[in-house]
Structure 1
Amino acid sequence: MNEKAVLTGNEAVSRGFWEAGGTIASSYPGSPTVQILESLGNYKEIFSEWAVNEKVAFEIAMGGSFAGARSMVSMKHVGINIASDPFMTFTEVKTKGGFLLVVGDDPGLTSSQNEQDSRFWGKYANIPVIEPSNPQEVKEYVKEGLKISEDFNTPVLIKLTSRLCHCRGIVELNERQEREIEGFVEDQSRYCMLPPFANKQQYFMKERMEKLQAFNDSTTLNKLEEVENSQVLIITSGMPYECLKEIEPKVSVLKLAMVWPMPIDKIKELSKKYKRVIVIEELMPFMEETLKSNGVKAEGKEYFSFTGELTVDSIREGLEKAGVLSNSGKDILPQEEGNIPPRTPMLCSGCPHRPIFHILKMAKATVMGDIGCYSLGILEPFEVHKTNISMGASLGNALGVAAAQSKAGKIKPIVATIGDGTFFHSGMTGILQLAKTKENITVIVMDNRTTAMTGGQETLTTGDYFKERDIYSVSIPEVLKTFGIKDITVVDQFKYKETKEAIHAAMKREGLSIIVTTRPCALNFKIKQPHFYVDENICISCRSCIRTNCPPISMKLYPGKDKKNSYINPDMCVGCSVCSQVCPVGAIKRSSDENN
């Protein structure tokens, strides 16, 4: 009997790739797919590596496939935007080693700036899209996807969602099946997509999709669950199928594994037996519109939301609207008000970004923001970031805003913030564009030595913090110097006064000024110094320390006092010292100094 284990959807991806003889894997950290590459580290047979962005990750896996190795690249949905350049040409190539593009969509925007529906990429790129429903299927579909990739010479997109990536389920474990790797065999007509070769591949892709269509009409991966005398056929896939099974409607259900190309001939024939065909799918009406364009009278989005996750409750409501279910008497689960306090996202205690945001807020600076944990600078209490669009966009945004205002005679200093991971991901090209500007733009590169937002993965500056280890490291100031940029200031932002002076001075200078901050992530590197405390007999209740918005600091009524003074929770304080530096009367002291 095979061993079983409880795995997340992400872990199931890694397990399936290992069992299938996978060899090359790469990724860029982005929720909800971070754990895929992290869990691949458990398998010594697999070369797995974080890349500087999704495009490079895609190209690493593509090279593995060229050499005949089963390869995989994983990313969140917006990562395909970055990888789309090699992706859209690689689809023309007759794939050699099995190739998987594993994508985590994010219905409901739990950790994303948009809700892209990755199924459309499959249609756009002429490749199949497979959508599992639970961790066991995830593992099996990864293995099946690699087989389809090699049988049809195609990349295969496996679409997950945040809930499926993070949910847990019982998964049957099998042994690894080793695959021989032939190595790279030179064939320019196969791998060099210049017009003489690429023109022919358009016909290859058309033939490939026709073969995949025929395959999907007959594959046993799709599941038909027919109910006798049912007049309704529901077509669904992915997590909505699992929710539908909770409701147990007395109707027939066709659960699709491969959602593109759809098994149109099979559905056309099947739909003749039913009066109604209803599609249940998250986000866009992808399957619904495909069916309608092929003459199948399908319904769907008039009953189910085009945004957010589909839950058991929302599917039940939709089916009631459609008249498929009568009011079942099962009430929608009420949200208990008042029992669960809201938890606002906030920067951690000792976060090195906090003094920067405090300085910028006090300066009333116009700040273009970027993607990372420092995106929290948008929210209360800082509210310093005025834009937040995509990786690296703060730099181009800053130039565009500054240039437009300059033309209008409304000249004002512009500040852009960007983290070290984002700097290497998409920021260097933006910096190069800014290098020649004469507009008053200050860029603050907040180098905390990690990709903190997604769990603390390494960046190219991580090794700079561990000088005793043999870790490859890159100096951001040295990189900037090679761009011909001369106005570069390196600061320790926990030296608050010096940092404030540096930022204010940079904002007064014409042209590009860059400030690189150097404090590492307190959480990821477990940084903790002796805590600070408030001498309530000196404190004047001015709230200067409160305005740094550090979680350990609050106001407290001390015994014998008639008004509240500042208080620092010693269990939360990591000893960064910023609060003591902004205190105008010296009321905040380090515990080690007073043996407190």
Structure 2
Amino acid sequence: MNKKVVLTGNQAISRGFWEAGGVVASSYPGSPTVEILESLKNYPEVYCEWGTNEKVAFEVAMGGSFAGARSMVSMKHVGINIAADPFMTFTQIKTKGGFILVVGDDPGLTSSQNEQDSRFWAKYANIPVFEPSNPQEAKDFVKIGLNVSERFNTPVLLKMTSRLCHCRGIVELSDREEKEIEGFVAEQSRYCMLPPHANKQQYFMKERIEKLKVFNNELDLNTLDEVEGSDTLIVSSGMPYECLKELNVKASILKLAMVWPLPIEKIKNLSNKYRQIIVIEELMPYIEEALKINEIEVKGKEYFSFTGELTIDEIRKGLEKLDIISKTDVNETDVEPEEIPSRTPMLCSGCPHRPIFHILKMANATVMGDIGCYSLGILEPFEVHKTNISMGASLGNALGVAVAQNRSGKKKPIVATIGDGTFFHSGMTGMLQLAKTKENITVIVMDNRTTAMTGGQETFTTGDYFKDRDSYSISIPEVLKAFGIEDVTIVDQFKYKETKEAIHAAMKREGLSVIVTTRPCALNFKIKQPHFYVDENICISCRSCIRTNCPPISMKQYPGKDKKNSYINPDMCVGCSVCSQVCPVGAIKRSSEANS
């Protein structure tokens, strides 16, 4: 097959895994790598499933490798933090079936709470890292990585970035190559990492990394673009290399495909031919520091940013400082791009989180936030979340804050919010910690039946709404009661008054109170009721409805009116009714009532 198609980086990874005879793939949804598993659903030969969290997803793929099947796990960069426990022991094991760990880093914090550099995990774990620079390489490097994994009995990390995951490029397709699966063969010295077995594996890892160094020095994927007469060598990889090529720099460029362990001997030999060596890499000075440790004099982060994406403009600025290019080299016809108007992210029309945030804001509650769509509760106009750290952190944070404030004589009610996806990911252990607390803590579990922020993937409560699917469904209230938590209240948050009373009452009670909200995601479940409208003759322009921050609601100058009144866009309204319930004068009415 020589067919060429346009694929995103994520789609190319999926295709590469399929072509390489991949069998087991798992993941936890997190931008920018969500599309990898979604795309794999198109390949029936591959078993693919969302894990409860990244640790479980890693362990599923690891089990596939134990049985001799080519396996892959994908996650965003912070997901490695969750998967680190099995990851750091799995690296000691002589890998059987090829194993690829695909990680999506997020330079510039497009959709993340931090900006960590995943290359350091591979160095820490003594495994190789491949870093593609375009979708074709993303596909190819998956296949090469699986071969390297089996040849050297090692997991392989494939490092992607947000831009590379989502960019599109021409990719040449190939047929699938089936690989025989031997099955699991019991071998305790290989798979049981307890002393003395694990002690011996330290030597295996040391020998393996030395062999990988030799391999990388001979790897033809590391390409050298030589410029005759140049006294400068630029070492780069990934997307920065693609941006660098756009500048047509009059310098030789060494593009690395495998960025750990580095081809030190190759670079040392090249260094003798050049007056200066420059490293251009995103985020931390990973390559730069490794070269300096090996007594190769290089320049890098003093000229290029340690944070954010290294765009063409950012690389140009650094090269200008180094006198590699001058401002006169820039095409005078280049036009400065117009500034793109900023758009504050907001919850969707009919989002069931909105009434909860409105109630908490009006109550002036101290709220510990968590990761998900409801993270938008940090932003205007709600600004209710006072913390946003990591998956499930709201629960432990709430307990710590409550205890500290109580001991200091500054006791006050503490509220924590968490979604259903996050509850199952890493919230249940936090709930167990809270189960018998005497502190005044209210936890609101906002069960909207989906992992909404990453595209509507299923959670363990989704089956309640998709009866036609073979979906496993769990009752969160029953789970909480099994933990020994007795104060559990179930509310329909679109019944605004009842929900408000339940939250206020819970905040007044000592000990742990849990409220579980039941309205599903309006977007994922395509929920739409007859829309509401404003009777401008009754509206008093108090803006109570505006404060719910629902996208269809705005202020409008009606004909014959001296001041603006509220207006609801009927095409956007999904009929959730919250605005009508907060209106103090009954000016907001359902359209079906007007027609009856």
TM over 0.5: same fold? Answer: yes
Post-superposition CA distance 1:105-144 (Å, at most 9, x none): 0000000001110000010000000000000000000000
Separation (CA, whole Å) in 1 of partners of 2:338 and 2:89? 51
Pair 1:145-2:145 in alignment: yes
* Equivalent residue runs for 1:242-253 within 5 Å: 242-253=242-253
Name the stretch that deviates more: 543-552 or 82-91. 543-552
Separation (CA, whole Å) in 2 of partners of 1:322 and 1:553? 53
Alignment match of 1:334 (pick from 322, 333, 336): 336
TM-score by length of structure 2 reads 0.99
Separation (CA, whole Å) in 1 of partners of 2:338 and 2:175? 47
Name the stretch that deviates more: 351-360 or 468-477. 468-477
SS at match of 2:84: helix
CA shift for structure 1 position 341: 3.0
SS at match of 2:367: strand
Post-superposition CA distance 1:34-78 (Å, at most 9, x none): 000000000000000001100000000000000000000000000
Match of residue 108 from structure 2: 108
SS at match of 1:547: helix
SS at match of 1:513: strand
Runs of 4+ aligned residues of structure 1 deviating over 6 Å after TM superposition are none
CA shift for structure 1 position 345: 0.3
Separation (CA, whole Å) in 2 of partners of 1:275 and 1:419? 56
Match of residue 318 from structure 1: 318
Post-superposition CA distance 1:350-369 (Å, at most 9, x none): 00000000000000000000
Pair 1:228-2:228 in alignment: yes
Match of residue 9 from structure 1: 9
Match of residue 583 from structure 2: 583
Post-superposition CA distance 1:78-109 (Å, at most 9, x none): 00000000000000000000000000000000
* Corresponding residue pairs, total: 594
Gap regions ≥5 residues in structure 2: none
SS at match of 1:452: coil
* Equivalent residue runs for 1:452-491 within 5 Å: 452-491=452-491
SS at match of 2:124: helix
Separation (CA, whole Å) in 2 of partners of 1:184 and 1:576? 53
Match of residue 352 from structure 2: 352
Separation (CA, whole Å) in 2 of partners of 1:485 and 1:335? 56
Q: Which amino acid aligns with 1:405?
A: Q
Separation (CA, whole Å) in 1 of partners of 2:246 and 2:336? 18
Alpha-carbon RMSD: 1.0
Match of residue 501 from structure 2: 501
Name the stretch that deviates more: 458-467 or 121-130. 458-467
Match of residue 188 from structure 2: 188
Separation (CA, whole Å) in 2 of partners of 1:20 and 1:469? 30
Separation (CA, whole Å) in 1 of partners of 2:223 and 2:2? 24
SS at match of 1:454: coil
Separation (CA, whole Å) in 1 of partners of 2:88 and 2:470? 37
Match of residue 381 from structure 1: 381
Match of residue 238 from structure 1: 238
CA shift for structure 1 position 540: 1.2
Match of residue 93 from structure 1: 93
Q: Which amino acid aligns with 1:329?
A: V
Pair 1:544-2:537 in alignment: no
Separation (CA, whole Å) in 2 of partners of 1:542 and 1:217? 71
CA shift for structure 1 position 470: 3.6
TM-score by length of structure 1 reads 0.99
CA shift for structure 1 position 193: 0.2
CA shift for structure 1 position 197: 0.1
Match of residue 343 from structure 2: 343
SS at match of 2:580: helix
Gap regions ≥5 residues in structure 1: none
Separation (CA, whole Å) in 2 of partners of 1:256 and 1:220? 10
SS at match of 1:543: coil
User: Percent same amino acid among aligned pairs?
Assistant: 82
Pair 1:414-2:411 in alignment: no
Separation (CA, whole Å) in 1 of partners of 2:241 and 2:476? 48
Separation (CA, whole Å) in 2 of partners of 1:104 and 1:83? 14
Match of residue 262 from structure 2: 262
CA shift for structure 1 position 465: 1.7
CA shift for structure 1 position 333: 5.4
Match of residue 68 from structure 1: 68
Separation (CA, whole Å) in 2 of partners of 1:319 and 1:217? 27
CA shift for structure 1 position 443: 0.2
CA shift for structure 1 position 336: 2.3
CA shift for structure 1 position 585: 1.1
CA shift for structure 1 position 335: 4.4
